[in-house]
Amino acid sequence: MDRRELLANFATELNRGTLTLCVLSQLTKAQYGYSLLQILLEKHIELEANTLYPMLRRLETQGVLESSWNTSENRPRKFYQLTEEGKSIYLSLANQWREQQSHIEALLGEESHA
């Protein structure tokens, strides 16, 4: 395995959990899949549709998201939004992320690694 492939694998592992947090952060109001992809992309979070849609279905099955169909336009769209439980989970995860980020920043800032 060459260096680029190894680095890509590590980056995938690093992103796996954080992408879920990113998605949850944008579902405090209802979004459909494509709009969610665009919002994340505008914020420099790259996420493939073939990653997002299974994630949305999984989160809905877990009770974190709820969905509804909007058929008022020509093209029906499935909108996703956090449930009350999902809001609570999102806030807890965001707090855990901030705490972990602080600890990681301290580790990365140690002079012995410079």
Q: Taking a C-beta distance cutoff of 8 angstroms, is the pair 22, 44 a contact?
A: no
* Distance in Å from the first CA to the final CA of the chain: 26
- Whole-model pTM: value is 0.87
Partners of 80 in beta bridges: 31, 67
3-class secondary structure for 17-68?
Answer: HHHHHHHHHCCCCCEEHHHHHHHHHHCCCCCCHHHHHHHHHHHHHCCCEEEE
Average predicted confidence (pLDDT) for the chain: 93
Residues 33-73: tens digit of each pLDDT: 999 999 999 999 999 999 999 999 999 999 999 999 998 88
User: DSSP class of residue 1?
Assistant: -
Question: Phi-psi region for residue 31, left (φ > 0), alpha (ψ -120 to 50) or beta?
Answer: beta
Nearest to 64 by CA among 88, 82, 78: 82
